[in-house]
């Protein structure tokens, strides 16, 4: 029986923009597991299977409900250990956490200041009300103010990608010759932005953009199948 994934959707059911859900979709495909997605909206807390933390991704695999992208990755690695490895052993698993912490504190934090208003534009009216209120409270300013000056912030963001760029200049994936979960973690951030924003994060000749293209090509172009901006 296919795994079910509750996947964050915009006003259009097939516009999937959660960076955390993209991690999970890529991880499921990496393991060669069949899955179907259920579009889920920010305000549909009561439509998730139990247990959950009010957020996606949540997967249902037979009798197991697993939530939180990191927990899901661990679950998939241990329950499907005969399939391609997401981490590649203890060192790989531990170092993946560093990549994840870098992604969340450097990349996500910056991307949010590029695309917050674009997220708002792509969700339905009920979600918009919730989203505006919760984000404006969290950030202490309007969504419009939060993303103002994004053009000026772009060069610093591209500079902050230097460790990623330097790595991908010398190897095809963060995992080396092939992708690992760390690739999906970083890719999630870029796929998130493309889902809802035409603001281009990368210069066309950036090695990171070439890697993003390789990521989009994986698993029969899985990540190209949901609406996105950009090439």
Supply the minimum distance, in Å, between the C-beta of residue 163 and a second copy. 4
Q: Is the preceding peptide bond at 220 cis, omega within 30 degrees of 0?
A: no
# chain residues binding a second copy, by CB under 8 A: 32
Supply the minimum distance, in Å, between the C-beta of residue 20 and a second copy. 16
Enumerate long-range contacts of 46-53, CB under 8 Å, 24 or more apart.
47/6, 48/6, 49/6
Q: What are phi and psi of 206, to 5 degrees?
A: -75, 130
Q: Which is nearer to a second copy, 10 or 179 (CB)?
A: 179
End-to-end alpha carbon distance in the chain: 34
- DSSP code for 12: S
Measured between alpha carbons, how far is 154 from 156 in angstroms, rounded to an integer? 6
Packing angle, helices 207-221 and 181-196, rounded to 10: 100
Candidates 10-18, 25-33, 119-127, 176-184 — which segment interacts with a second copy by CB under 8 A?
176-184
Q: Which is nearer to a second copy, 54 or 176 (CB)?
A: 176
Question: According to CB under 8 A, which one of 34, 46, 82, 90 is a site residue for a second copy?
Answer: 90
Packing angle, helices 181-196 and 109-121, rounded to 10: 40
Is residue 85 close enough to count as binding a second copy by CB under 8 A? Answer: yes
Question: According to CB under 8 A, which one of 3, 147, 164, 216 is a site residue for a second copy?
Answer: 164
- Using CB under 8 A as the criterion, what x/- string covers residues 183-202 for binding a second copy? --------------------
Question: According to CB under 8 A, which one of 71, 101, 129, 198 is a site residue for a second copy?
Answer: 101
The DSSP result for 153-215, as a single string, is HHHHHHHHTHHHHHHHHHSSBTTBSS--HHHHHHHHHHHHHHHH-----S-TT-HHHHHHHHH
Is residue 97 close enough to count as binding a second copy by CB under 8 A? Answer: yes
Is residue 208 close enough to count as binding a second copy by CB under 8 A? Answer: no
Cβ–Cβ < 8 Å for 54, 48: yes
Candidates 7-15, 35-43, 92-100, 113-121 — which segment interacts with a second copy by CB under 8 A?
92-100
Strands (E), the chain: 3-8, 35-40, 58-61, 64-67
Supply the minimum distance, in Å, between the C-beta of residue 166 and a second copy. 4
Is residue 69 close enough to count as binding a second copy by CB under 8 A? Answer: no
Interaction residues for a second copy, span 13-32 (CB under 8 A): none
- Provide the binding-site residues for a second copy, judged by CB under 8 A: 85, 87-99, 101-102, 105-106, 162-164, 166-167, 170-171, 173-177, 180, 182
């Amino acid at each position: 029986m296919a795994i079910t994934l509750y996947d964050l959707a915009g006003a259009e059911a097939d516009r999937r923009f959660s960076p955390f859900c993209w991690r999970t979709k890529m991880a499921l495909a990496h393991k060669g597991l069949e899955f179907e997605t259920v579009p889920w909206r920010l305000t549909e807390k009561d439509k998730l299977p139990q247990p959950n933390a009010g957020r996606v991704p949540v997967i249902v695999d037979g009798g197991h409900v697993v939530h939180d992208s990191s927990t899901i990755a661990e679950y998939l690695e241990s329950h499907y250990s005969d399939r391609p490895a997401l981490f590649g052993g203890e060192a790989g698993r531990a170092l993946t956490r560093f990549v994840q912490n870098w992604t969340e504190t450097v990349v996500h934090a910056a991307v949010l200041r590029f695309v917050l208003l674009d997220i708002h534009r792509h969700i339905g009216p009920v979600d918009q009300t919730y989203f505006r209120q919760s984000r404006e409270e969290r950030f202490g300013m309007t969504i419009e103010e939060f993303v103002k000056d994004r053009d000026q912030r772009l060069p610093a963001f591209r500079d902050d990608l230097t460790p990623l760029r330097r790595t991908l200049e010398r190897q095809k994936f963060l995992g080396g010759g092939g992708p690992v979960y760390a690739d999906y973690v970083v890719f999630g951030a870029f796929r998130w932005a493309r889902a809802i924003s035409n603001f281009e994060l990368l210069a066309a000749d950036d090695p990171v953009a070439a890697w993003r293209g390789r990521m989009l090509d994986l698993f029969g172009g899985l990540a190209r199948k949901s609406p996105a901006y950009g090439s």
